[in-house]
Amino acid sequence: MYQYTVYAHSILRWIILILLIVNLVKHLSSFNVRFTRGDRKLALVLMIFAHIQLLLGLYQWFAGNTGIKLVNAMGGMAKVMKDAAARFWVVEHTTAMVIAIILITVANSVSKKKYIDSRKHKRMALLYFIALLLILAAVPWPIREAASRPLWPSL
């Protein structure tokens, strides 16, 4: 079961990155364009996938070997913080991704506000841009020395 959640989590990473980039480009190119129902739906789809990703990640953190079990195996947070790979999985990856998902959720709530359309596009673009930066910084890319995963998972 756990391995399937890792696989799903890795696949969803790509879906979320694509949706985030599509949303970001859409809002950056639409500052002076009417905010549409399609814009709202695109934001909602991104938020839904991000929340599914969060649930899969939390399951892995509590049930897998790169979360709470790692903290217990290493003898506490003090030792985790001294190890680059353990710190990445236990603290950095988790914290950055939760913040990015919060930003994506806030952007979705901006789409429902009674702001003028250009203000919605600008705020959503800014929130999506910050979320994208956080996600790109906290993904376990294959070139990361301390903690990495393949670009495409295998079962």
On whether residue 149 sits in a domain, the answer given is: no
On whether residue 145 sits in a domain, the answer given is: no
On whether residue 154 sits in a domain, the answer given is: no
Residue from 106, 102, 107 nearest 134 by CA: 102
State the DSSP code for 115: -
Domain interval for residue 78:
2-138
State the DSSP code for 26: H
Residue 134 phi/psi, 5-degree rounding, is -60, -45
Total number of domains constituting the chain: 1
Give the span between the Cα atoms of 124 and 128, in whole angstroms: 6
Token pair belonging to 141? 């890319």
On whether residue 150 sits in a domain, the answer given is: no
Contact partners, residue 87, CB within 8 Å, separation at least 6 = 80, 81, 146
Q: Does residue 120 contact residue 106 with C-beta atoms inside 8 Å?
A: no
On whether residue 81 sits in a domain, the answer given is: yes
On whether residue 14 sits in a domain, the answer given is: yes
On whether residue 122 sits in a domain, the answer given is: yes
| Tens of pLDDT, residue by residue, the chain (155 residues) | 788 998 899 999 999 999 999 999 999 998 889 999 999 999 999 999 999 999 999 999 999 888 999 999 999 999 999 998 899 999 999 999 999 999 999 999 998 888 898 899 999 999 999 999 999 999 988 877 777 776 777 65
The pTM of this model reads: 0.90
